[in-house]
Structure 1
């Protein structure tokens, strides 16, 4: 989008300003928006952004609020109550929820927004911190067509593609589908890499070979390269991926859809979250490698 002048810069407030949101905020600032933020700690990884002391006060000072929090509980804590975001928003304002939360929490927020005369879009993003840094996220939006069009300049500033998934709630559901594929794929890699190592394949050859084959996605090849070097710096923390698997497992059960692969994936990622909750979810590859190495040592 074209650069906006300082005098008429639209005001955007972020609820939650961690690794993903701070990068989105930087792109919006470059596009000419005036960005403020609220976090429960009052701290931000972007010192140049002005921090506000409550969700309500932030909402009172901005025209659009973007929510980027980790789970249903954090969403409820920041949205509702006398100091919540909804209490400070004016009728006609827009609330964009980029959080990965349950369909039930998404529906509750949409209903509360409608009651208050606020436009609510569920717009979780596909991509991790590298995509947020590059401004190449894929935005998955649920909401009315006209409302999505109004928010398009914001989406254009933070992402490369906007997918209008359907009416309210559709973005949240599509996000669960995508993350389910990510989680199951990573779990399959962790298990099969462990088999290869246990069977005596050379470690370097194995990781390099997997980097060359078409059956593995670019996302998972990036995870394999990091695992080869033992680098599990969090681009997508294990606690968040395991949370998304749990949400998908519950959502599928509500639709009576059998998802045994997702159930097994959730258990494996629970192991990863238990041991390395704040490392990247690909740490599961390292966990499985360690199990194999320990077992090999016991057999000698």
Structure 2
């Protein structure tokens, strides 16, 4: 005589939703309505309970304020560590840890770009609206200038003007006579372009809807730290036009005259990263999910589908 075990498999309710406590598809985005670059933190990891599908996008002024504060924190940590440390790796680690802290603190408000090159990559990849990019870039530059200005104000109370300029110049970006290895502008252009493209790809990949959002700040901060360790001997390590602008303004005319390269190279890197991410179909819809009808409404009983932003 055969014995049948009771069927304990959870079945969807009448409305097609799984009962509470039922395991869900691990590939499913956790917060489909969230706008911005960074993937939302999974609901289970949040202190609050945000229902799936609830949009928590901040207003434009709030996003600009978050980009300003996050970029200021990043630049203050990186430049400050470079000023008071004796090894290049310390400065790179300062930027990496500063970025992790900024993303955790402010990333959920603005998406956590803190870098014009990353913002451009997100726009090209279709992850951020173009109309929002200008305000974010302005906020990033102002945040970098504010952080560099605070460091200058501290140094000028301790050192004479010429020594202050030397200290600030040491943490600024440059080529030729402003490079510790005397690297020419073509070498620096190539190094910054490649490093920024790799960094932007890490940002776009680790913040994709199917990526582990909890580990994204760690991955991005670690990528920035080791890429700066590689680029620092050539040009002081930038990968961020806002960071270079803040340092150059307080360092003086010698660095301001070379600032153009540290906008052109990172922006080109961000552009290429965005194009690669988009054209290589690195962002794909969930497996087994049918396309939405032309009306934009999901079939009855189906899980909501989210396009990567």
Q: Same fold (TM over 0.5)?
A: no
From the CA coordinates, give the structure whose radius of gyration is larger: 2
Q: Which protein has the bigger strand share? A: 1
More contact order relative to length (CA 8 Å, sep ≥ 6): 2
What TM-score results when the alignment is normalised by the length of structure 2? 0.29
What TM-score results when the alignment is normalised by the length of structure 1? 0.30
